[in-house]
Amino acid sequence: MHPETTWFGRLRSLDVRVLAAIAAALMLIIGVMWVVPTTPTSNSFTFDSARRGMESARAIDYDEVVKGAIVDGSDADFYKLSPLNAAYRIDVHLGNGSPTMIPGVRIFDAARNLVQDKTVEYIRNPGGSIDCTFLAQSSVLYYIQILSQRNTTGPYTLSVTIQQP
């Protein structure tokens, strides 16, 4: 019997790149099947994006220190500031608790208009903290979005204070 006529002989005569491609494809398929849930309700799979929107923003008080964490590159935390009776300057301080996280702060009004964006200037400053000030109009609700850039993660503290006129 010739060695290349057996199943093992034909397998040995294949190019190693073909075997590597077959192994990589099998590992990918097995990895995806391992991650995708196979429970009775797995046919109704939904992403957890609802908790990361303005609709579920956490209300915070002025002069309150809030601790939070960005846990993955798609994570963003939203906070809601109650409207004031008059126009004031608002100071926002984000204390970065990680030497590698690249933070970002965005401030939106109730109509979801961007009031302030503190992301671009911090892209080359991992571990940096952010301080920003904006003029809050009277009777307007504001949202603060805390995010990380370039898939960095870490803990942070947020404080919002009112500057007296």
Span 83-93, pLDDT tens digits: 999 999 999 99
Secondary structure E strands in the chain:
58-60, 65-70, 76-81, 88-96, 102-109, 114-118, 130-136, 142-149, 154-163
Span 117-148, pLDDT tens digits: 998 888 888 999 999 999 999 999 999 999 99
Pairwise CA distance, residues 39 & 133, whole Å: 49
* CATH class in words for 50-163: mainly beta
**For the chain, domain boundaries:** 3-44, 50-163
Reported pTM: 0.69
**What are the φ/ψ torsions at residue 105 (nearest 5 degrees)?**
-130, 130
Q: Which two tokens stand for residue 45?
A: 């799979």
